Structure 1
Amino acid sequence: MYLIKAKVSTQRVFLALAGLAFSLTVSADFGSYQNHSVVEQTLALQTDQGELAITLHNPQAMEVFYQPNKVKQLPSFALAKTPIQATKPHLSSTKEQLHFGSDQLTVVVNKNPITLSYLRHGKPLVKEESGLFVHDAIRGFRFSLNADEKILGGGQRVMGMDRRGQRMPLYNKAHYGYETESQQMYFGLPAVLSSNKYIIVFDNSATGNLDIGATEESVLQFEAVGGRTSYLIVSGDSYPHLIDGYTQLTGRQPLPPRWAFGNFASRFGYHSEQEVRDTVKKFRDQDFPLDALVLDLYWFGKDIKGHMGNLAWDKEAFPEPTKMIQDLKTDGVNTILITEPFILTSSKRWQEAKKADVLATNAHGEPKTFNFYFGNTALIDVFHKPAQAWFWSIYQELMLQGVAGWWGDLGEPEVHPDDSIHRLDNQIATGNEIHNAYGHEWAKMVYENQRRRFPNTRPMVMMRSGFAGSQRYGFIPWTGDVSRSWGGLKPQVELSLQMSLLGLGYTHSDLGGFAGGEKFDKELYIRWLQYGVFQPVFRPHAQENIAPEPVFHDENTQDILRPFVKLRYKMLPYNYTLAFENSSTGMPLMRPLFFENEADSSLINNADSYLWGDAFLVTPITEAGVESVSVNLPEGVWFDYFTGQRYVGGKTIQQKTTLETFPVLVRAGSFIPMTQATKSTSGYSSKDLELHYYFDKTLKDSFGKMYEDDGKNPSALANGDYELLNFEAQHQRRRTQILLSRTHSYSQAVAIRQVSLIVHNLSKKPRGVTVDDHEVEFSYDGQSQQLTVEVDWSHSNTAISLHQ
């Protein structure tokens, strides 16, 4: 969240420059095949250059681990430690080749020289161009690219959805105040997703580059200064199937606590306990729901510099923190604290940290100190078990005081000397070997310790930098210190989609923009917060020269935004069901339009619109003075959410908008469960449920669902402590029947729901409505074309029939 001008090492400059010519001058050779064996689901090949281990983790995913002789290896960070699926691999051998894998994904091993190619259902998928290369300090892989395939990936970058033709640094690095272009940002991913429906993840944490046909048009090249010579490969028959396989391999996002889907009060920053209390009161007085308040670095220091590493309450500014946290909790507001991994030599914990040996060291074993914006500092060695225990003890103490969530900042780390020494279990690694996994390991430390020490809580771990697979640690990323400008708003869909496709489904932006801004731009602010209703986390956040919270702006701004914030709360049943889908299958909450027509690869480039779940199509306004937007509408029938206007899809439309509305369309046939807005999710209940159904005469049947649990139990999915409601509509010439059923329940489930079924786009009043063949009363509004019927539902199979 700060602008740091760090010195760039000569080594990284050399890597960036030399890499352009590197691919042209170095060939790969993993030696001659000697023998092979199969142990369970791993094919092990011996060559005169080392060992190659290929493990079938699930029917559509493999780990490929080259282990050249005398080449240092680091652990895998991308792979989840979950049981390998019991899929018996097939193996066939000839003089020239081995075939190993499943019906869905097979690797073909050419024996001399050793190179690999892959088949999906027996047809060519992708192949190594020359496989592994190791040359002096640089190692990596080369794959062949087909002429027509498009490539997504690389994590947070602003360079368009199709990243083919780009060469990007793999070194997580802050980009303060970015707008419409950024080659290097907070959260890079050494991974690509192809329009040919495969994913490759280079499981290597070191400083490097990802060259997607930039240097050589037909070559994908990964290169790094060290690290693990391993990659993961996943195949899928569709994009959702591909993502499902990828998240089986790298881990699924645990369900966040329900309150994480509410409204956050956040800024840089609240200076005192009184300011915190006054801010919460302002939300309540102005009738804005609120679920969380985020405290920036002033909770442990009165100003910006000199205090980082204290990680204890400044009692002058926060005299009674435990009571404050409890009072907020009583009012339905959860407290989130910022922490950073830097211990300044001027901080109160410096001697303690030094004595406990928890800091990354120099070559002589002393704490590696360096200067950056906040002062002279060292870095906590989050890879070192004693350091993890020491760091966690601070988190544990604060959780015992009532802190509910964590914000890990500067976790790239923002300044990280290349020659820092980090201690893993049985080896050491330098800063440039381990840099990109630092935030990942930090999140793992927080997540796993919280699950162990506070087993009845769901971790909320908001961090801005990590690695492939970080999602399995409850990781909630944001897109960094974006400019508070239209240019800053414009790339936010691209950033979230790119991350979501590779597991990081909760990627979101500082709503309203963070950096700069000389005066309040009302239209920009409103448009950004409107977009925020349909992104994974609703968290306005900014430098305090312009208030990020809507309650501190003029009455008109509040009046426009209040219904949107309340809409966020009304949509909790729908949004929480998206979270369930994400945790179950990896399916993103924000989905790209190319999911709608996988045969049309041109849709990959579209980051103007996106799907929020299956029901909503959202097109953020990213320019001033816009009265309509161009929307590439997928097939089917769609309705303007605010006006009800009907559109036929399969073409580009102009959707009108005003400052009081927002370009949101709803797919015909959608079921959208809603509740009444409450002041916080602590008052949430779906006992009174609004079930919105978008009827259209072109449909024959429609389906929907709703997931429900207690919002707190971290084992709800694993233990079956949840409820799953199912909705179905069947259309006949003179009758529309809506079926309600429950296919899973648990002890805390609501016994009877009062369901208000609201049917949209019904052009004429029905002759009658029956519930399980019993005639009931209903209301019909001809102007809005909406029918409403009230049903007391005990969760037995129920049929609601509309007779035309």
Structure 2
Amino acid sequence: MGLADYHVPEFEPVADESATVTTEHCRFTVLEPRLVRLEYAPDGAFEDRPSQAVWYRDQPVPEFSVTRANGTLEIETEYLRLRYEIGAGFSDDALSIVLTEFGETWHYGDGEDTLGGTTRTLDGVDGQTDLEPGLLSRDGWSVVEDTDRLVFDDDGWVTPRDAHESYEDLYFFGFGHDYLDALGAYTDIAGDVPMIPRWALGNWWSRYWEYSQADLRELMSRFREEGLPLSVCVIDMDWHVVDNPHHNGWTGWTWDEGLFPDPERFLDWLHGTGLKTTLNLHPADGVHPHEDAYPDIAEHMGIDPNTGTPVEFDASDPQFLRGYFEHVINPLEETGVDFWWIDWQQWRESPEMDGLDPLWALNHLHALDRTRDGRRPFVLSRWADISNHRYQVGFSGDTVISWDSLAFQPYLTGAASNVQFGWWSHDIGGHFGGTGDPTEFGELYARWTQFGVLSPINRIHTAKMPYVDKRPWQYDGEVADALEDALVRRHELIPYLYTMVRRNHARGEPPIQPLYYHHPEEDAAYHRPNQYYFGSELLAAPHVRERGDDTHLSRRPVWLPDGEWYDFASGERYEGGFHTRYGDLSDVPVYAKAGAIVPLDGDPTFGDTAAPETLRVVAFPGADNTFDLYEDDGVTCASRDGDFATTELRQEWHGDRLFFDIGQGRGQIGHVPDDRTYEICFRGVRDGLDVTVDGAEYTRSYDDETATLTVTVDRIDADEELTVSLDGDGTNLRADAGWRLPQIRTMLRHFSMPAGSKPPLEEHAAAFLRGDRMTLDWLGNFAPALSDRQLRAIAETLVDAGVERIDYAGDDRLFFWNDSRRTDITHQFARYDRSGVPTNREGESRHGTLPEYDWIPLSTMETHDWQFSLNYGNFVTVSESGTGDATIDI
């Protein structure tokens, strides 16, 4: 018995014959103008079966030319020129590809320097870990090595290639800096990113704990009573029988009746509250006689159940795999399990088949098995290999509770997009370690949860540690407020995020995108590891470091691309360039580009992630824009057949006037709620504007604190159109919403310094911002009342000059900026040998005016001791030194 039909995808692995060029021992397949398959087979046996990574080689044939002359083959597309010395085999002399417009040349064997990819797991990681290579490179090219991956045979399961020992199978991506195009081409041949269910975008509660069904029912009810929305209740491994005579208990398939006396009734209750659920699986030990499923799967495998012989886990055997689903997994799903958390932590190879990673097999088949009743592929599991984008969501593993772990996760999440793996689910708050102290851990937990809101999946999780408690109501004051705000904000964002789900599926655009995707020629974009685009409209720079002892604020250097930006929450306006953000625990650095349109759920509630009846649309001035809101049933694959609706939200900007249109619903408008209420929030505009709403009654209000004009229109049908007009009577609509003086005031509220010095300091800062004072010399008068860090914070806010140490993926560097190009801001840097004598090597010492933008590599220098000073006027606010890998606060 082989696999079920729904376990076998519909492959299209054979390229059009006219896309292939064959020479002695080689075949080149032009898949796209910038994507070429390169095969070398000394025996002439080329591979047309789908591999684990590549399923769709039958692509539209691009235009290209072929020239054979003097023993040389040349293939030229619009973007690439391939040259091969016929008969020579693959070597650096024989095979090269020129990126004709980009100006780079690849030779076979050139080492790759990609922008990083992702990693299998963060288990036990405290801070950073190495990442596998990605698909994107500043060099403009990358090569995917597919030679050793398994291929699918006629029965729909994988098998070794049995190719010649010198066979090679490569995919050359020559997209220059068109990074999103490269990712799109990758999904063309590897398969689209399946749409995740809408409910997966809400908050998940997870804890490794011996919960009973009564415990979980009480806990979920408490979240609802507290007004804290959830959409998923994760049940970790103790759902099943652990104590048994056969193995250590990690593997299990039978409900523990002591904890879950009526699991089906409990899962029905969860569903009735609007929650989905998953069970944690560790399948490695197979199925043993104590399991309820044992008799059926034993008979399926030809084992007499009376012998008690265990059914061994075997990812290479289609017979076992068929029985695993039909007799173990599917019956559990019939009790109400919505999806599976595959917690595979064992071996990477299958003894029965060389090259088969059981994790890949589980991810592949679990995702497909879920489609048997029309649902979308969906599984929570670790990353197995390139092409794992087809099997979202990624479980990143058991991280250590620390600030370093938090600081690494935004970088990891962005880099994972470089292999199209956009839906990471981290253990928000960390898995194990830490102190559990409510004050110390509370700040870290709140910041981690704020990052979780700005992550693909927000899954709060904890190890089995009684003194680490992540229930939000266990915290007081600002931590509790920050947690509540974060959890509510996440559910507000679901309409926006779900449209990004569709974009990822239909366009190959990941939900999290590093800044260099859109600004590839800006060097600064490659040095912002903790900043990223969060969907199409927003840029996130979450706080990932604890507050200073004397500032009581978190410091966050930020680079914004050219243009106009707005703080998403406050409406404060920023110009492109560098600035340093200082914020208390309520501060979440999220920026909206000029013209941004962000649809939100206007009334988020527990267990409800459906298309909202009240849609709050936050719109920002400064540019024209269009946002197509996407809605469907949220769970099935029907959207493949066009069963979805879109609503166009469009803004037209004229400086002193603004027109905002809500278009008619298009497509299957039954997915759009009847009589939807629209709250259109124009953020960053001034009060007193004339408002006109065509064809509908409305109410208006204005919030001074966020510079937001809200126009509310009730009960609009999906097939109606609506236009809101703002008129400034010849004066620009923008509010006077600068950010610098408000940040100075925030600092002064939190600084530990004499209260009497705060008003005059604010007055001097305001005068400086007005241009009444040209230098920062006056700040030196306050030096006795301020620490160096406090002085640095004031200066950074006023003049946009600073320094930051960045250390990710082994690339340790000092990064500094002087956005205002002030000549009175100077710096000094020196390296020292072991005896403390300054070195004189080029690049290891420097001084003078702080450059507008530059960076110093630390990891590539031979010596380890260094000192850096940054001077604002006549006083020093930063003076740091480092030895080796010592961490410092700059």
| TM-score tier after normalising by the smaller chain length | 0.7 to 0.9
Q: Aligned in 2, Cα 1:230/1:380: closer, same or farther, shift over 3 Å? A: farther
In the alignment, what sits opposite 2:839? none
Quick one: which amino acid aligns to residue 641 of structure 1? F
**Structure 2 residue corresponding to 1:176, chosen from 99, 123, 137:** 123
Residue 405 of structure 2 aligns to a residue in which SS? helix
In the alignment, what sits opposite 2:407? 490
**Structure 2 residue corresponding to 1:672, chosen from 586, 598, 614:** 598
In the alignment, what sits opposite 1:296? 236
In the alignment, what sits opposite 2:831? none
In the alignment, what sits opposite 2:726? 802
The Cα shift of 1:236 comes to 3.0
Q: Deviations over 1:170-210 (max 9, x none)?
A: xx5x55321233237xxx5x644211433422225579xxx
Residue 267 of structure 2 aligns to a residue in which SS? helix
Q: Unaligned 5+ residue runs, structure 2?
A: 1-13, 151-162, 304-308, 548-552, 729-890
Note if 1:757 corresponds to 2:680: yes
In the alignment, what sits opposite 1:652? 578
Q: Is the 8 A contact 1:341 1:379 kept in 2?
A: no
Q: Percent identity of the aligned residues?
A: 23
Q: Is the 8 A contact 1:382 1:388 kept in 2?
A: yes
Aligned residue runs from structure 1 range 360-371, under 5 A: none
Bigger mean CA deviation after superposition, 571-580 or 283-292: 283-292
Residue 155 of structure 1 aligns to a residue in which SS? coil
In the alignment, what sits opposite 2:363? 443
The Cα shift of 1:505 comes to 0.6
In the alignment, what sits opposite 1:220? none
The Cα shift of 1:275 comes to 2.3
Taking the aligned partners of 1:736 and 1:38, their CA distance within structure 2 comes to: 50
Aligned residue runs from structure 1 range 475-514, under 5 A: 475-514=392-431
Taking the aligned partners of 2:593 and 2:443, their CA distance within structure 1 comes to: 28
Q: Aligned in 2, Cα 1:200/1:743: closer, same or farther, shift over 3 Å? A: farther
**What TM-score results when the alignment is normalised by the length of structure 1?**
0.77
In the alignment, what sits opposite 1:404? 338
**Structure 2 residue corresponding to 1:606, chosen from 519, 525, 528:** 528
Q: Is the 8 A contact 1:101 1:107 kept in 2?
A: yes
Relative to total residues, which structure has the larger strand share, 1 or 2? 1
Q: Is the 8 A contact 2:600 2:617 kept in 1?
A: yes
The Cα shift of 1:567 comes to 0.7
The Cα shift of 1:796 comes to 4.2
* Count of residue correspondences: 675
Q: Is the 8 A contact 2:275 2:607 kept in 1?
A: no
Q: Is the 8 A contact 2:516 2:526 kept in 1?
A: yes
Q: Aligned in 2, Cα 1:784/1:310: closer, same or farther, shift over 3 Å? A: closer
The Cα shift of 1:683 comes to 5.7
**Structure 2 residue corresponding to 1:414, chosen from 346, 358, 370:** 346
Cα RMSD of the aligned pairs, angstroms, is 3.3
Taking the aligned partners of 2:31 and 2:607, their CA distance within structure 1 comes to: 39
Residue 495 of structure 1 aligns to a residue in which SS? helix
Q: Unaligned 5+ residue runs, structure 1?
A: 1-36, 130-141, 157-171, 208-223, 360-368, 370-376, 423-428
In the alignment, what sits opposite 1:264? 204
Q: Is the 8 A contact 1:265 1:294 kept in 2?
A: yes
Q: Is the 8 A contact 2:491 2:609 kept in 1?
A: no
Aligned residue runs from structure 1 range 308-347, under 5 A: 308-343=250-285
Q: Deviations over 1:561-587 (max 9, x none)?
A: 112101111111111111111111121
In the alignment, what sits opposite 2:172? 233
The Cα shift of 1:285 comes to 2.5
In the alignment, what sits opposite 2:731? none
Q: Is the 8 A contact 2:82 2:97 kept in 1?
A: yes
Q: Aligned in 2, Cα 1:40/1:594: closer, same or farther, shift over 3 Å? A: same
Quick one: which amino acid aligns to residue 800 of structure 1? V
Taking the aligned partners of 2:581 and 2:265, their CA distance within structure 1 comes to: 50
Bigger mean CA deviation after superposition, 769-778 or 293-302: 769-778
The Cα shift of 1:351 comes to 8.8
Q: Is the 8 A contact 1:178 1:483 kept in 2?
A: yes
Bigger mean CA deviation after superposition, 398-407 or 679-688: 679-688
Bigger mean CA deviation after superposition, 768-777 or 488-497: 768-777
**Structure 1 residue corresponding to 2:118, chosen from 155, 158, 169:** 155
In the alignment, what sits opposite 1:383? 316
The Cα shift of 1:798 comes to 3.5
Residue 241 of structure 1 aligns to a residue in which SS? helix
Quick one: which amino acid aligns to residue 97 of structure 1? T
Quick one: which amino acid aligns to residue 155 of structure 1? T
The Cα shift of 1:229 comes to 3.1
**Structure 1 residue corresponding to 2:495, chosen from 557, 568, 573:** 573
Q: Aligned in 2, Cα 1:83/1:726: closer, same or farther, shift over 3 Å? A: farther
Q: Aligned in 2, Cα 1:122/1:734: closer, same or farther, shift over 3 Å? A: closer
Aligned residue runs from structure 1 range 624-639, under 5 A: 624-625=546-547, 626-639=553-566
Residue 270 of structure 2 aligns to a residue in which SS? helix
In the alignment, what sits opposite 1:103? 78
Taking the aligned partners of 1:510 and 1:648, their CA distance within structure 2 comes to: 35
**Structure 1 residue corresponding to 2:382, chosen from 433, 456, 464:** 464
Note if 1:544 corresponds to 2:519: no
Q: Deviations over 1:724-774 (max 9, x none)?
A: 2222222225421112224732052334432111111112411x2223388
Q: Which has the larger radius of gyration?
A: 2
Q: Is the 8 A contact 1:496 1:508 kept in 2?
A: no
Q: Is the 8 A contact 2:570 2:707 kept in 1?
A: no
Quick one: which amino acid aligns to residue 630 of structure 1? P
Q: Aligned in 2, Cα 1:382/1:555: closer, same or farther, shift over 3 Å? A: same
Q: Aligned in 2, Cα 1:670/1:444: closer, same or farther, shift over 3 Å? A: same
Q: Is the 8 A contact 2:435 2:468 kept in 1?
A: no
Quick one: which amino acid aligns to residue 317 of structure 2? H
Bigger mean CA deviation after superposition, 662-671 or 728-737: 728-737
Residue 425 of structure 2 aligns to a residue in which SS? coil
Q: Aligned in 2, Cα 1:783/1:193: closer, same or farther, shift over 3 Å? A: closer
